[in-house]
Amino acid sequence: MSIHREGYKILFFGFIFLLVLNVAAGLLWSEYTLFRWLFMIGSLTLYLFILFFFRLPERTLEPVEGLVYSPADGKIVVIEETHEKEYFNDNRLQISVFMSPFNMHSNRYPVSGRVKYVNHMPGKNIVAWHPKSSELNERTTVVIETAEGKEILVRQIAGTVARRIVTYARPGQEVKQGDELGFIKFGSRVDLFLPIGTELEVPILQHVKANKSIIAKL
């Protein structure tokens, strides 16, 4: 277990900010010992939560052709055939993984292949589990073409709490299943768009883990 690099600045400046607040509280409430202790305990709890959020567990994966692994930790909230408008402009099988603030938020490549498309779109910040969040929210879309020529679309979606999507994918890049695709800060969702007829391995509402749970067989 380690701390994700996306959390370094937040943890550093968060520590300084909370330290200053606690010093100020000590000076203002010098006669109120109980208030000072409660404020300090609250600050420590908040900092430990941020530390927990940016955890990065070791998740090694030996790539397997034909399998699609979960790109994120969370719960399956959508399994449906839908019309994907941004890249394919045809019907695809959509599987959506909702990540609460308590889930590990590092996103991984579900398949190996070559990155064909990367696009970031600004948008709204409605709750990430809402069906329309895939089209209306701030999002980044990544398309990977496998060695067999199949294209898999992964979409990182910001939610009500999430305010920053980080994507490491670049067009033309060769990527390996299980490697890190990006990170979404503080609550979000990841959508997968697979070819119609793909054999699913998960039911709706199942909890999944990146690099551990098999979503489908191509």
Catalytic residue among 43, 70, 133, 188: 188
In a domain, 72, yes or no: yes
* Rounded Cα–Cα distance for residues 175 and 146 (Å): 10
Asked if residue 117 and residue 89 are part of one domain, the reply reads: yes
What's the chain's average pLDDT?
88
The tally of domains found in the chain comes to 2
In the numeric block, which tokens belong to residue 186?
Answer: 């503080």
Which phi and psi angles does 33 have, rounded to 5°? -60, -40
**Structure confidence at residue 128 (pLDDT):** 54
Tens of pLDDT, residue by residue, the chain (218 residues): 788 888 788 899 999 999 999 888 888 877 777 888 888 999 999 999 888 888 888 888 888 999 999 999 999 999 999 999 999 999 999 999 998 888 888 999 999 999 999 999 886 666 555 555 566 678 899 999 999 999 999 999 986 655 578 899 999 999 999 999 999 877 688 999 999 999 999 999 999 999 999 999 98
Whether 188 is catalytic is yes
**Structure confidence at residue 196 (pLDDT):** 94
Neighbours of 59 (CB within 10 A): 16
Asked if residue 98 and residue 31 are part of one domain, the reply reads: no
Residue 7, Cα to own-chain centre: how many angstroms? 14
In a domain, 166, yes or no: yes
- DSSP state for residue 137 in the 8-state scheme: B
**Structure confidence at residue 136 (pLDDT):** 66
In a domain, 51, yes or no: yes
Q: Where are the alpha helices (DSSP H) in 29-100?
A: 33-53
Specify the pTM.
Answer: 0.84
Range of the domain at 130: 67-217
Residue 60, Cα to own-chain centre: how many angstroms? 18
**Structure confidence at residue 153 (pLDDT):** 98
The domain boundary, picked from 56, 76, 95, lies at 56
